[in-house]
Amino acid sequence: MQIKDQLTNLKPYQPGKPIEEVKKEYNLTHIVKLASNENPYGSSERAKKAIQDELNQLAMYPDGYSALLRETLARFLNVEENEIIFGNGSDEIVQIICRAFLKKGTNTVMATPTFPQYRHNAIIEGADIKEIPLIDGDHDLNSMLAAIDEQTKVIWLCSPNNPTGTYINEQSLHAFMKKVPNHVLVILDEAYYEYVTASDFPETLPLIKQYKNVMILRTFSKAYGLAALRVGYGIANRELIKSIEPAREPFNTNRLGQTAALHALGDQDFIKQCAEKNKQGLEQFYNFSKEHGLSYYPSEGNFILIDFNRDADEVFQALLEKGYIVRSGKALGFPTSIRITIGTKEQNEEILQILTELIS
């Protein structure tokens, strides 16, 4: 049997090491995972209670239209219900977009380094990839525009960008959108939207009324703390949503995920508290980096990329042996940097103490 040629050189997604594996390998009892940008404060108590109440319904398929969640989310965002598409995490929305728009003979434009699933899914569909290097951690929007041709179908803008945490400000985004041809779909991936504090971060929802070629991606996996339940969504004009719906698998969001997301959405106090604690946690890492003369990117996400001026895998391994799982920048396009998820105040203090000893 022969698979698609484009799959032969692709590697499956490699998640961070599981906690139990690290415990066993290094004979540790205390493990802290700061590798996957998960919410260290968990999820809303409302969401947890709602899941308990839903356990008696596990024998029944979920609502394939996510009607209750759709209605509540549309009201929360002030958009129409038919301007939303749900996915098994926003990862699946990325897959749906690639499935719907990309094929051999087309191309897609993205920054590099950025979220790798844009590239991964585009390759599977046989499209050509145009990667535009970041400039000082930021998207090079002018070069991305220059890369567009008649075969360009999708441009990906990750803001805040993973792994740098940098963002595209309002003025730059609006100037960019005015120059993008109508035949090119612009994806604004805002997975970390709830953590953003920058005053000039664009309010992107009005753009779906202004442009027919824009889609916003968001998720319940990050600030909402529901990563295990996999609920993400895309927002765009109704015609665009309707056109890509056939590429969505039936029952792609599960019953527990829909219920948890619905009730988590109603607990915005929890989200605000997490965002404030995250901001304070970032300051801990900023102060550490300044004190030790290490360069870093100011982040609008719940993670930070710090350059330790040495092989990233060595720093990763040293932390791993102390029970701290982070992400080596080597796999992210930053071979001397480490990406660290912002933890609780205590977790941050612990890992910073270990890092201080490591670099002293």
Residues 319 and 97: their CA atoms lie apart, in Å, by 37
Q: pLDDT tier at 16 (50, 70, 90 boundaries)?
A: low
CA 36 to chain centre: 10
So what's the pLDDT on residue 26? 82
Residue 283: other Cβ atoms inside 10 A: 12
So what's the pLDDT on residue 3? 76
Domains in the chain, CATH or no CATH each:
3-41+267-357 (3.90.1150.10), 43-266 (3.40.640.10)
DSSP string computed for 167-227: ---HHHHHHHHHHS-TTSEEEEE-TTGGG---TT----TTHHHH-TTEEEEEESSSTT--G
Residue 190 in tokens: 């805002």
| Amino acid code (one letter) for 299 | S
pLDDT tens, residue by residue, 156-184: 999 999 999 999 999 999 999 999 999 99
SS3 117: helix
CA 322 to chain centre: 27
Residues 166 and 143: their CA atoms lie apart, in Å, by 17
Cα–Cα distances (Å) from 218 to 29, 77, 128, 176, 308, in that order, read 35, 11, 26, 21, 31
pLDDT tens, residue by residue, 261-273: 999 999 999 999 9
Average pLDDT over residues 185-198: 98
Average pLDDT over residues 38-62: 94
pLDDT tens, residue by residue, 288-341: 999 999 999 999 999 999 999 999 999 999 999 999 999 999 989 999 999 999
Average pLDDT over residues 210-215: 97
Tell whether the model's pLDDT for residue 14 goes beyond 70: no
Tell whether the model's pLDDT for residue 90 goes beyond 90: yes
Question: What's the pTM?
Answer: 0.94
Q: How far apart are the first and last CA of the chain?
A: 55
pLDDT tens, residue by residue, 243-253: 999 999 999 99
Residues 84 and 228: their CA atoms lie apart, in Å, by 21
Residues 219 and 301: their CA atoms lie apart, in Å, by 13
Residue that is written with structure tokens 């890509």 in the block: 244
